[in-house]
Each structure stands twice: as C-alpha cells, then as structure tokens.
Amino acid sequence: MALTLRRRLPLSLLLAIFVAACRGDGDSYNTSICELQASSCGKVEIKYPFYLSNETAEVRGNSNSYCGYPGLAIDCHDGRDPMLRLDNGDYNVTDINYSSSTISLAYPDVIEDESCPRIHNNVTVPPALWLYFPGSTIIYLLFSNCSISSLPGQPKIEPLNCASSDGGGQYSILIPSDMPHEALSRACNQAFLVPVLRSASQIDQTSSQWTIGGILNQGFQLTWNVTRRSNNCTKCDNSNGRCAYNRDGEFVGCLCTNGQVSDQDCTKGHQKRSRIYIIASALSSLLLLCLLILAFFLARNYGLLSSKRKEEPTIESFMQNNGHLYTKRYTFAEVKRMTMSFSVKLGQGGFGDVYRGNLSDGRQVAVKMLKESKGDGEGFMNEVASISRTSHVNIVMLLGFCLHGSKRALIYEYMPNGSLERYAFNNNFKCENTLTWEKLFDITIGTARGLEYLHRGCSTRIVHFDIKPHNILLDQDFCPKISDFGLAKLCLNKESAFSVVGARGTIGYIAPEVYSKRFGTVSSKSDVYSYGMMVLEMVGARDKNINAGTESSSQYFPQWIYEHVDEYYLSASEINGDTTELVRKMIVVGLWCIQMIPTDRPTMTRVVEMLEGSTSNLELPPKVLLS
C-alpha cells in the first residue's frame, strides 16, 4: 500500500504541473502591483522604478516578485514618513527627483532632535542596491563620546557640547574622511562614516550657522544607476513595460499594462504567445522533469547522492532564515570577473586563499575563496552570520558572498596594509617599516574595542575563538579591524558559556579551557586569553623576536614575559617616558588576560578601561602557573 502510494505521488505531481502549464497562469499577474500612475506616501511621489514594500505578487512561480529595481522598496506604513532601508538602518525619504535620478534622505534621529544629533551606525550602501553616492554627497567622519581634555588643537575641528540625559557632557567632532584623524581616534570612543551634502559642508566652520546637527539635518543624496539594468529590462522599460525582479535581484519578466508577462518587452509580437507554443513548452518541461525525478530516485535508492549535495540544503536554509542580514549574494561568474580570474593573490590561510578584486563601482575588495569543507559548511555560515550582524570601526566589513555548489567566497573591504603579523611579527620585514610603540598601542586598544563590541555591543553577542595577529587587518591609517569569523560562535541568550567539540583556534593563542574542562567553562573570556597572548607577543616580538604561535616557544612564553618585565620597563634606549607608560600598560593588561582560570581574567570592557586609564592604578596579577 505504502509502496503503491509512493509510486503514484510523482505521477500526480507531474499531472498537476502539466495542467498548470497548459492553462498559462504563470504568464499573467495582478496589475494592481504595478500601476502606471504614481502613488504617494506623505508628500513624496512614489513611482517606478521605486515601489511600495507591500507591492509584491507571484510572477512565473516567484511569489515575492516586485515591480521595480532591486532594493528600491519604500516603506509607507502606519502614517509614518516614507522610509528607505540601507545597510544599517532606515532613513527618511524627503524627496525623489525622477528627472535627475536622485533620492534625498535624512537621518531619523537628527530630525527628532537637531540640537543633540546621535548617529549609531556607519552609513553605507549595500552592493545589492542599485544606488550610489553622487558628486553632491561627500563622506565625513563623525567622532563622538570624545574627551574634551584630549582633543587635538586643530584649527578646523570644533568640539560641540551635547547635553546627555544624565546632565553630563558629550562632545562630537565632524571632519572629512580624508583628513588625518589618528589623534581623534585616541580621544574619542566612537567613529562613524556619515554622508553629508557638499553644499552643507562648505559652510564656514567659524560661523554660528555651522553645527553638527545643522549639517546632518540637511541629509544626503543617493542616485540610482539605470545602466545596471539587464538588456531585457532596458527593452522592457522602452516599451512602456515595468521590470519585475525577484528577491535575489534577478530579472523574471516584463510586466505589461494588459496583465501579461513577457520575456523581453511589451510589443505585440512578444505578447501574443500561441497555445501550441505553450503546450510544446509544457510537454518539454514535463519530459525534462520526468527524467530529473527518475534520476533523483535512482540516485537516492543506490546511494549516489554525495555528501556535498546533502550539505547544500542546510546552507540554503540558513541563508533563507537569515535573509534580513542584507548581504549581497554574488554569482561565481561575478566573483571571477571582479578578481580578473583570481589573478592577484593577497595571501592564504587555514580556510582558503585571498585575492584582490574590484566591484563594479570601483571599490577595491579582498575575496576569500574558502576551501571545500567537510560537514555542513559551518565555517561559511558562521562567518556570514557573525560579521553581517556587526557594524564597528574595528570590525572588517563584509560586502557580499558567493554560494555556488562547492564554490564559496566571502567579499570583504580591502585592507591595503595587510595583517598585523606582517609588521610586528615578521623577522625579515624591513626595519624602517617596523611599527612604533605608539602605533602598536593604538592597534592594541583598537582591537580591544572591537572585541568589546563583539562581546556586548552588537545585536547578537559573538565570541571569535581565533584572535591572533594574522586575523587583525590594518587599513590605510593602520586602524585595526578584526577579521576571519570562521570559528565564531553566536550567543543568543544572556549567558555567554558555550559547549564546543574539540579545540578551536590557533596553537599558542587557544585558551586552556577550550581544550581542557578542568580549567573552567568556555566563554567570551576565551577571546580575552587569545587577545592577551597576542598583546604580550607584540611586546616580546618588538625587540626579542619571541613568537607565541610557534611550538618551540608557546608553552614558555608567559613565563618568559614575567622574567623580563623589569627589563621591558627600563630598557630599550629609544623609549621615552610616554612610551614607557604605553609598554607598561600592554604588559600588565596582557598578563591579566592570560590568567589560567577564566574567572580571573578581566572582561574586554575592563581591558579597555585599563588601557585608557593611568598606569599608577595597574598592579601585576599573580604569576601564571603552567602546570
């Protein structure tokens, strides 16, 4: 009985598909989702290529198709002002100029209170959108939570007081992104990329009209690029049709005013499809489907499906469940094109090789091609899920990914100065390019702030599990950015303890509790240990070429640091008084971080406080026992 039913199910399914294909229902659509007349949302006129977020319908089997360009959905609910979603939040739409193809946006928090502007994220445009910054918009850096006593005395930088809810003071600084800002990074706790109108930025900063709130309240502009349309979409637009796209940004058909869907355009020749053609197409599809189903059952019954094929549904299901992350998905052909067939190799790691590439808008990127993995692609899913939830100046930005069969790639912002390992830990590197103690300290505190954000600052707390010099990347200003989240774990509840199988990380940086339960519970304190080992290695490698990551030295490294503490406090003739204090902080903080028992280590919040505080309040921790 069960066997008979099992054999009849495929036949019933095929008959249903055949009937639906002959009816031709897939070639029509509900015309209400693509009205030729414009709709309005507040005072803004909404029309093609923009569309209201609730205007979706089924077009040729795509249940979430929409009439307009990918990423140009306008949210107009509950009587609110129209909103457009970008990479890290929603922004008020104040105007759309269809003649110049520009859309004007405003910061919601600034509109609510111009006298006390608060920005919480970098303002970036995800590659999935057909939008980019025009010449009328320039990128600025907004520094906030700044210490007024630490601000550098640069003539064109004006600190502004913004009263907080507890009556204290908050100071912010707005400067062009290409202006030197190393000193500001040390004086301020936060920095965000914010676009502003070029006309607003030209106001004299010495005048009373120049305020951060006033500049930001004028908003910024984006423009959409119609040249990125497919050839079919261009023909569709020119024939008074409307291009329909699916959620992946793929062209699915041309929506015509008579309710029909065409492959290319709305001319009569393409709209009149004969019944014979429909039936022939249905029969061809039926025959192909029969062959595919037969091959599938043969493969399943005789065990011919490989583990790679079993792995793909897991990853695809994961990507569908995490679609809200707004990360661009590229095809493998696009990855090959952006890397010029992987012609420039930047380096390699345990998870794969890294190549340099360029996006269509000219931005340089680093493309990491992951090696074929065993299991269900945990490393790939970890990296996409973890880093897509982050937005911090000390975390590398994920711009997109590729999932094409066994080929997987991650597209990151390009870091021109490579990794920290290249400068601080390479014995063969040129002496004149060795980083100064001041720069090493800036990298130390920047990395600490990034880890603090991962542990408690982002929407879902993240434990990295592989902090080491190779995974700390440096931008053009040597600002550190944490990368490589392949071993990361997400913490969805209030506790931060994890159950891990096997050691995770790199020898010399792995916390004791990761490979032995007798030391304690695996948690965010495991990252603190790896961070401490890296900081102490930065101190030791600066003069003595001591490397915690080598098997010959890793088990003696903490003890070596203890025995040479006084030497590093007093020696090195090039160290002046200020530098000595920085080195002392790095050593003491590093020693606290590598305590064998996790509960004896500080949190990353406490680490940041120790690095920013005075050395007079720092005491050496108990000596690490290596037994």
As annotated, the binding site for ATP includes: 368
Q: What is the dihedral of CA 357, 361, 362, 363, to 10 degrees?
A: -60
Distance CA(496)–CA(488), nearest Å, equals 13
Tokens of 588: 């003491």
Q: What is the dihedral of CA 79, 82, 86, 91, to 10 degrees?
A: -90
**CB-based contact 325:388 (threshold 8 Å):** yes
Distance CA(438)–CA(574), nearest Å, equals 12
How does DSSP classify residue 395?
B
Could you give the angle at the alpha carbon of 62 between the alpha carbons of 61 and 68, nearest 5°? Answer: 135
Distance CA(285)–CA(622), nearest Å, equals 74
Could you give the angle at the alpha carbon of 122 between the alpha carbons of 452 and 390, nearest 5°? Answer: 40
Distance CA(422)–CA(83), nearest Å, equals 44
C-alpha atoms less than 13 angstroms from C-alpha of 431 in its C-beta half-sphere: 1
Would you list which residues are annotated within the binding site?
A: 368
Tokens of 392: 């911090």
Tokens of 308: 């790679």
* Cα dist from 491 to 455, 499, 515, 558, whole Å: 9, 11, 20, 30
How does DSSP classify residue 256?
P
**CB-based contact 610:602 (threshold 8 Å):** yes
| Extended beta strands in 395-553, E state | 398-404, 407-413, 461-463, 472-474, 480-482, 489-491
Q: Residue 466 catalytic?
A: yes
Catalytic residue among 265, 466, 484, 527: 466
Question: H/E element holding 190?
Answer: strand 188-197
Q: Mark out the alpha helices in 169-230 (DSSP H runs).
A: 182-187, 198-201, 212-217
> Which residues participate in catalysis according to the annotation?
466
